[in-house]
Structure 1
Amino acid sequence: MKRVTTLFLKIAVILIGIPVLALCIFLVPEIGNIAAKLFPDIAYMKYLVSTVFYASAIPFYFALYQAIKLLSYIDKNKAFSELSVKALKKIKYCAITISSLHVLVLPLFYLFAEKDDAPGVIFIGLVVPFASAVIAVFAAVLQRLLQEAINIKSENDLTV
């Protein structure tokens, strides 16, 4: 049963990565073109928007890879190991990186909202940094709990 669950989670992680890849291929260039059209006086706007979105995709896929590694540790009965703690730490740093990159782009969302007179665009721009921050906090809590469990386990192994 445990392997079926981790297999399901691995498939879910892969399925999470596919739409982001499609967004990077099809939507990011369009967003860059829209940004260039909205702000023709800022020559580098298209490249700035594209660079930030592509740069945030790199830690996203690295975090997905770490999640798959974490699930494989669970399959190998190494869930309570330093390897799992390191994977959670890397996931936390990836989420912080994604959140930071998108916070840096928030002024662009404000400019888009001013240009189109649509204040809801700012809230849309807050979704990714907020979700990434929640993931970072969750990974940090799991990392700390796992580290404490490993410490308790090693103390119990020493006393026996």
Structure 2
Amino acid sequence: MKRGSTLFLKIAVMLMGSPVLALCIFGLVWLPSHPVDPHYDHILYPILIGVFLTVIPFFVALSQAFKLLSYIDKNQSFSELSTRALKKIKYCAIIISGLYVAIMPFFYLLADRDDAPGLLFMGVVPLFASTVIAVFAAVLQRLFQEAIDIKSENDLTV
């Protein structure tokens, strides 16, 4: 495969990480020091901590996706390295889902107190998106592992 054939996807991975990094640096740091209402602090801080914690597995998953694209460039797409990268992406997505499940009650309390039902949607979208990514990574990991097994079986039958 040509070396630059996955260039678009690598750029997309970098572009996905840049707004999240900007939000972490500017938005999530600014929000606790400028709350709209100080009575929301006991609800807002667990949400901010949860969102900050989800950033770590998010960037780990992005780096693994970048590695996976590099493996594809090097014609090592059906290798043990690719399966490990997909496994790490799957675990990161599961961790993100778990963290959002943990902070969903706080999203509910905030939406209930502020009388904004659309705010609850802000917690549900990342939860379902990361669950879909975890399932997709698991399916791809299984597919890659089966291809590796078939490839090693064919190498043995000479």
TM-score, normalising length: structure 1: 0.90
**1:17 is matched by which residue type in structure 2?**
G
| Amino acid aligned to 1:24 | C
In structure 1, the residue matched to 2:84 is 86
Deviations 1:97-123 (A, max 9, x none): 011111111011111111111112112
SS at the partner of 1:77?
A: coil
Aligned counterpart, 1:100:
98
Aligned to 2:40: 39
Matched residues, number: 157
Q: Give the structure 2 partner of residue 54 of structure 1.
A: 52
With over 3 angstroms needed to count, the CA separation of the structure-2 counterparts of 1:135 and 1:77, relative to structure 1, is: same
Q: 2-11 vs 64-73, which deviates more?
A: 2-11
Query: Does residue 4 of structure 2 align to residue 13 of structure 1?
Result: no
Letter in 2 for 1:18: S
What runs of 5+ residues in structure 2 fail to find an aligned partner?
none
Paired residues of 2:61 and 2:89 also in contact (CA < 8 A) = yes
Question: Residue 73 of structure 2 aligns with which residue?
Answer: 75
CA distance in structure 1 between the partners assigned to 2:69 and 2:29 by the alignment = 33
Query: Are 1:66 and 2:48 counterparts?
Result: no
Letter in 1 for 2:135: V
Alignment partner, residue 116 of structure 1: 114
Measure, in 1, the Cα distance between the counterparts of 2:36 and 2:107: 10
| CA 52–18 in structure 1, closer or farther in 2 if over 3 Å, else same | same
- Write the deviation string for residues 9-62 of structure 1: whole angstroms up to 9, x where unpaired: 11110111000001111222344453872435x3xx554333211111011001
8 Å contact from structure 1 (residues 35, 49) kept in 2 = no
Gaps of at least 5 residues in structure 1 are: none
For the 8 Å contact 2:93–2:131, the answer to whether it is kept is yes
Specify the alignment match of 2:2 in structure 1: 2
Query: Which of 1 and 2 has higher RCO (CA within 8 Å, sep 6+)?
Result: 2
Q: Which amino acid aligns with 1:105?
A: I
Q: Give 1:2's aligned amino acid.
A: K
C-alpha distance in 1 between matches for 2:47 and 2:36: 7
Mapped to 2, the partners of 1:35 and 1:51 lie a distance apart of 18
Q: Secondary structure at the match of 2:105?
A: helix
Counterpart of 2:29 in structure 1 is: 29
Aligned equivalents of 2:9 and 2:118: distance in 1? Answer: 33
Using the alignment, how far apart are the partners of 1:15 and 1:74 within structure 2? Answer: 20
